[in-house]
Amino acid sequence: NYIGKIIDSFDGVQFGDSGLVNDDIFALIPLENAGYTKNDSEITKDISYIISKQDSTGSWGSVDLTAAGIEALFNFRSISGVSSSIDKAYGYIISSQSSDGGFGNSDSTSWAIQALSLNSSAYGSNIDRAIKYLTNKQQGDGGLNDISNPIDSRIWSTSYAVPAAMKLSWNDILNNFDKPVVSSSLNSSNSASLSSEEFVEPVKIIEQADQINPEVVLPKISLDLPQKVIKKKIVVSKITVNKPVEPASSTDIKTEVPIKNNLIASAGNTTTTNFSMKEISQTIINFMFNTLHYIGSSFSLFLSLINVF
């Protein structure tokens, strides 16, 4: 809550250190962009304090601070004494511009350009000369001032030059906000111990679109959640093997097949048994039929297990 810290530093006359004026100038710039106006006592009293610290030349000690003073006071010209103070400050700045267009150094030149840009119609030529001065100070790496200077110093100088080259004052750059709302929730037991300037940050309430405009249809948010796995029942068709029809005109062919007669004789004994071709064919067909039936049953069991798991 930076605005709160600034307000808390107000002593009834000025902000911060009573021996300084720069803190009052730099307090005034953000306060006027945070909703504080000439109707606030902190503003009017601080302005009176700032004007009282301006010397007869129109300066507040330097070109930099004088330019900042113009920016701080510019939007309060309707307050008595402010316009004449600004005119004196402009007179000091113009008198400080050198023949090369600068105001002593690049930093002061940038601040002077920002203040002069608030009245560019009157000081257009001064602004153009000052911007040319900044251009001549720019090095090949884009930064201002000699590359032998400390990097921090060059960064500051270059940062000042950017809004100046764009002819933008702090009044143009800063956003405007509503004044923070004074807290109304303090009870009688502790309100007396708190400053009347204490406040809470404004809270922006984001309303739902359908509450603001009933015709607005809010899109539904759908999430692709994992779906329950549905096991598909597999129907296995029965495997039918047609037993071949025995030829009507089959011829009986006698053959002798030596076999190991383990069921009758002892090990190593061999005998011969007579089989007809019809009997052999029938045996092979039965074996094939039983084998296919077994394979079909096994396949059905396999598919059933897949269905279960």
Predicted confidence at residue 180, as pLDDT, reads: 73
Residue 16: pLDDT over 70: yes
Predicted confidence at residue 181, as pLDDT, reads: 72
The more confidently predicted of residues 106 and 179 is 106
Residue 207: pLDDT over 50: no
Which is nearest to 79 in space by CA: 28, 123, 115? 28
The more confidently predicted of residues 70 and 249 is 70
Identify the weakest region by mean pLDDT among 19-33, 154-168, 217-231: 217-231
Identify the weakest region by mean pLDDT among 24-28, 184-188, 233-237: 184-188
Mean pLDDT of 200-204: 42
Contacts of 130 (CB under 8 A, 6+ apart): 97, 101, 102, 103, 109, 112, 113, 116, 164
Predicted confidence at residue 211, as pLDDT, reads: 44
Confidence of residue 188 (pLDDT cuts 50, 70, 90): very low
Predicted confidence at residue 99, as pLDDT, reads: 97
Confidence of residue 191 (pLDDT cuts 50, 70, 90): very low
